[in-house]
Amino acid sequence: MRKKRIAVIGLGDFGIELVKRLYEDGQEVTAIDQDKNKIDRIREFSTYCVAIDSTDESELKEHGLDEMDAVVLAIGDNFENLIVTADALKKIGAINIFARYQSDLNKRVLQMLGIENLFNPEEQAAHSMAEQLANSSVKGVTLLGQDYRILEAMVPKHMQGKTVQGAKLREDWNLNLITVKRPKKTRRKSDKKDEEVLGIPSPNLILSEGDILVLFGKAEDLEQMIGKR
């Protein structure tokens, strides 16, 4: 599989963490910020890093931002720079622009510029924590727009012992099962149990107590399923 070329503009805490994760995942990551000190911090965790003015179209084009598979605008502390950079990226023909917003006004302005892939890390983290605190069976949540979620939840009791096909997740709950995480067995009870990802689930896979279902669907459908314990 070909490595993806991804640029991250804005190296705050979120931007730096994103660069590191992408680089560890084997992608070709270009890290960009105006602050040379931040560039120095990320140098060993990126494929290429450079301190430039991201609002300058010629600088962006010179460093190949128009040829990236995706560009992430992670600028969080300067909305003017975020908007001008987004506009500059559109003008040079950059594709798959993902932009961070911090308010509804930010979001509307980015949408007017034609940026469709918008995200708010703080909002997503708050939603995820709220759902985990409200329901102990929920182990993780990823928001996909306003309506859809990827949810990690403990397998409900009424599904334990059933096959994936027998659980009827799609038929009864309108949900898609992405994969199953299963605790690895250890010899000693004191050992920390790691999780094994079982890949694309077979229809004949039997769901067991302790399994974590990774599900995709509408928020309302997911809530109904995990509510029926």
Write the pLDDT tens digit of every residue in 47-99: 999 999 999 999 999 999 999 999 999 998 788 999 999 999 999 999 899 99
Residue 163 predicted with pLDDT over 50? yes
Q: Closest Cα partner for 120 from 86, 75, 83, 153? A: 75
pLDDT at position 28, please?
94
User: Which has more confidence, 8 or 26?
Assistant: 8
Candidates 3.90.850.10, 3.90.700.10, 3.40.50.720, 3.90.79.10; CATH matching 5-119:
3.40.50.720
pLDDT at position 133, please?
47
pLDDT at position 144, please?
67
CATH 3.40.50.2300 fits 124-227, yes or no: no
pLDDT at position 207, please?
94
pLDDT at position 187, please?
53
User: Which has more confidence, 149 or 132?
Assistant: 149
Q: What is the mean pLDDT of the chain?
A: 85
Residue 132 predicted with pLDDT over 90? no
pLDDT at position 54, please?
95
Write the pLDDT tens digit of every residue in 174-214: 999 999 999 887 555 444 457 788 888 899 999 999 899 99
Share of the chain above pLDDT 90, in %: 53
Q: For the chain, report the end-to-end CA distance as a whole number of angstroms.
A: 40
pLDDT band at residue 228 using 50, 70 and 90 as cut-offs:
low
The reply to whether 124-227 shares the fold of 5-119 is: no
Domain residue spans in the chain?
A: 5-119, 124-227
Mean pLDDT of 150-160: 88
pLDDT at position 164, please?
94
Q: Closest Cα partner for 200 from 177, 223, 220, 182? A: 177
* Concatenated DSSP letters of the chain: -PPPEEEEE--SHHHHHHHHHHHHTT-EEEEEES-HHHHHHHGGGSSEEEE--TT-HHHHHHTTGGG-SEEEE---S-HHHHHHHHHHHHHTT--SEEEE-SSHHHHHHHHHTT--EEE-HHHHHHHHHHHHHH-TTEEEEEEETTTEEEEEEEPPGGGTTSBHHHHTHHHHH--EEEEEEEEPP-SSTTSPPPEEE--SPPTTPBP-TT-EEEEEEEHHHHHHHHH--
pLDDT band at residue 121 using 50, 70 and 90 as cut-offs:
confident
